[in-house]
């Protein structure tokens, strides 16, 4: 089986299109990191890591929300 993989593609200032794939399926969308306030002076690698962290956090939140819904139904 293939390892989990996150693919990022710059969209516009501080935003990335992404796809996250694993043996169980794929999630795709767009995340925005650091667009408010002064210009983002982080390196490209740091911005990409922030986007990956946000994708993983959103995935965990989605899983928790789905678990909560399933718990309510039982």
- Is the pLDDT at 38 greater than 80? The verdict is no
Strand segments, DSSP code E, in the chain are 5-12, 15-22, 25-32
Structure tokens at 3: 């390892």
- Is the pLDDT at 72 greater than 80? The verdict is no
- Is the pLDDT at 2 greater than 60? The verdict is no
- Is the pLDDT at 66 greater than 60? The verdict is yes
- Is the pLDDT at 1 greater than 50? The verdict is no
When pLDDT is cut at 50, 70 and 90, the band that residue 49 belongs to is very high
Dihedral angle computed from the Cα positions of residues 47, 21, 25 and 19, in that order, rounded to the nearest 10 degrees: 50
Residue ranges covered by each domain of the chain: 5-73
When pLDDT is cut at 50, 70 and 90, the band that residue 13 belongs to is confident
Residue 45: the pLDDT is 92
């Amino acid at each position: 089986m293939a390892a989990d993989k996150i693919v990022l593609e710059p969209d516009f200032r501080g935003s990335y299109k992404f796809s996250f794939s694993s043996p169980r399926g794929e999630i795709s969308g767009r995340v925005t990191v650091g667009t408010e306030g002064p210009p983002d002076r982080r390196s490209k690698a740091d911005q990409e890591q922030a986007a990956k962290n946000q994708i993983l956090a959103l995935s965990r939140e989605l899983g928790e929300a789905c678990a909560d819904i399933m718990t309510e139904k039982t």
